[in-house]
Amino acid sequence: MIRVFVSGCYDILHAGHVQFFREARALGDHLTVCFASSDVLWHHKQRRSSLPDEHKRALIAAMEMVDEVVVGEGRDEGIDFKEHFLRLRPDILAVTEDDKYAPLKRALCAEVGAKYVVMAKTPPQFPPISTTQIVKFIRAPEVAPLRVDFGGGWLDVPRLARAGAFIVNCAISPTVSLRAWPYERNAGLGGSGAWALLNGKDGIGSELDLGVGWQDPAVIAETGLCVWRSGPRPVLDVKTSGECLRGRMALHWTGTEHDTPAMVGGARDYDAIARAGASARAAVWQNSFAGMAEAVRQSYAVQRAEGMAELRADLPGALAWKYCGGGFGGYAVYLFAEAAQRDAACATAGLRAIEPYVAAR
């Protein structure tokens, strides 16, 4: 009989583990699986076990390819299974190609004459996932806001960042979820950042990988009316509830989608963008709706100078407006003097009412 031994945390079992166990079992006639105890998991990873040890043991033992299950109790990182290994003296220790403890495990194999076998990567039967990704997905929120930006846009792109400059934006409701998305797509409201958050992913990393800025996932995760310092990563300068904006914001759909990554390299007046960001920051500090409207007008002037089409200016009570995100399509945000005027524009001109969104912590 050829005895095969595998070990790991196996904290949240998934299809990748099943495939690994099946392929390891094919190396011999008997498979022993050792998982790290809850105490070992906490000691080495500072993370609670997903299940009590006896439940985890029962789940692994129920798999048809597993012949024996033991629990690793040792405190030596990477070889918490040492006591069982020396007792059972298996013929093969099977590991994955990304095993981090090869020297320790090879030495352990030498003590009992076992073969150290690195399992070749085979095409996964299911899209790969890790325990960390599963935990993030479980902890992901059920709903997320989108966002509108008022000043300083593009200065969140690392290569365009300016020391001493600011980006001002606001999380908005209605919120979105994986099942309900009451907005147009590719619309300048930070939808990709919200989608990443809802799926338990690192939205900031995802946006930076696209070559764009971090402001969307930053404010969507933070919520509220926020001022951020321009730089390679988000640094929050100040946050408020955005109450001065309540009842005064609406979105106008321009009828065309837009593509922010394609516009990063466009020619624009970054000095004017920085000035608009500074004006918006001052408005947040002063809790001034009039100041925010002025910052939005400054931002719109920059957008018009880039060649964006003129937005309608005949809505009664509208004080300021600008394209959201990169512009050249998507949504435009409008600020109204009074809630009644905002609501009238929504009823007669097809705008969508939005409100500042602050999540309870």
Give per-residue burial for 68-82: e unless 16+ CB within 10 Å, then b. ebbbbbbeeebbbbb
Let me know whether 97 and 229 are in one domain.
Answer: no
Per-residue pLDDT at 361: 65
Nearest alpha-carbon partner for 329 in 201, 194, 184: 184
Local confidence band at 262 (pLDDT 50, 70, 90 cut-offs): confident
Q: Tell me how far apart the alpha carbons of residues 179 and 177 are, in angstroms, rounded to a whole number.
A: 5
Task: Tell me the pLDDT tens digit for each residue of 307-344.
Answer: 999 999 999 999 999 999 999 999 999 999 999 999 99
Domain of 291, in residue numbers:
140-356
Give Dmax over CA atoms of the chain in angstroms.
85
241-247: average pLDDT? 97
Running DSSP on this structure, what letter comes out for residue 178?
S
Q: Is the pLDDT of residue 135 over 80?
A: no
Residue 361 in domain: no
| Tokens 């405190």, located at residue | 75
The CATH number that applies at residue 262 is: 3.30.230.120
**Which one of 106, 136, 166 terminates a domain?**
136
Q: What is the CATH number of the domain that holds 15?
A: 3.40.50.620
Name the residue with higher pLDDT: 34 or 12: 34
Residue 216: predicted pLDDT: 93
The answer to whether 190 and 146 have CB atoms below 8 angstroms apart is yes
Contact, 111 vs 90, CB < 8 A?
A: no
Residue 170 covered by a domain: yes
Whether residues 121 and 263 fall in one domain: no
Q: State whether 253 and 345 are in the same domain.
A: yes
Q: Do the Cβ atoms of 173 and 357 come closer than 8 Å?
A: yes
Residue 118 and residue 217 in one domain: no
Closest CA to 307 of 269, 335, 252: 269
Q: CA-CA distances (angstroms) from residue 262 to 210, 216, 266, 305, 328?
A: 10, 17, 8, 18, 11
Average pLDDT, the chain: 92
Is residue 263 exposed (0-12), middle (13-18) or buried (19+ Cβ within 10 Å)?
Answer: middle
The DSSP symbol for 291 reads H
pLDDT greater than 90 at residue 132: no
Count the neighbouring beta carbons within 10 Å of the beta carbon of residue 256.
12
| pLDDT for res 207 | 64
Question: CA 325 to CA 306: how far, in whole Å?
Answer: 14
The answer to whether the bond into 232 is cis (omega within 30° of 0) is no
Q: Are residue 131 and residue 145 in the same domain, yes or no?
A: no
Does residue 21 have a pLDDT over 80?
yes
pLDDT in tens, 266-304: 889 999 999 999 999 999 999 999 999 999 999 999 999
Residue 144 shares a structural domain with residue 87: no
Give the Cα separation of 209 and 305 in Å (integer).
Answer: 28
Model pTM score: 0.73
Domain boundary among 80, 106, 136: 136
Give me the amino acid identity at 326.
G
Residues 147 and 119 in one domain: no
Verify that 177 and 310 share a domain, yes or no: yes
Which residue is listed with tokens 């981090």? 100
Compute the average pLDDT of residues 12-31. Answer: 93
pLDDT at residue 233 above 70? yes
Name the domain count of the chain: 2
**Are 68 and 182 found together in one domain?**
no
- Residue 47 is predicted with a pLDDT of 77
Distance separating alpha carbons of residues 198 and 154, to the nearest angstrom: 24
The domain boundary, picked from 78, 110, 136, lies at 136
Phi/psi of residue 355, nearest 5 degrees: -135, 155
- Yes or no: say if 167 and 152 are a contact pair by the CB < 8 Å rule: yes
Angle (CA) 225 231 237, round 5°:
35
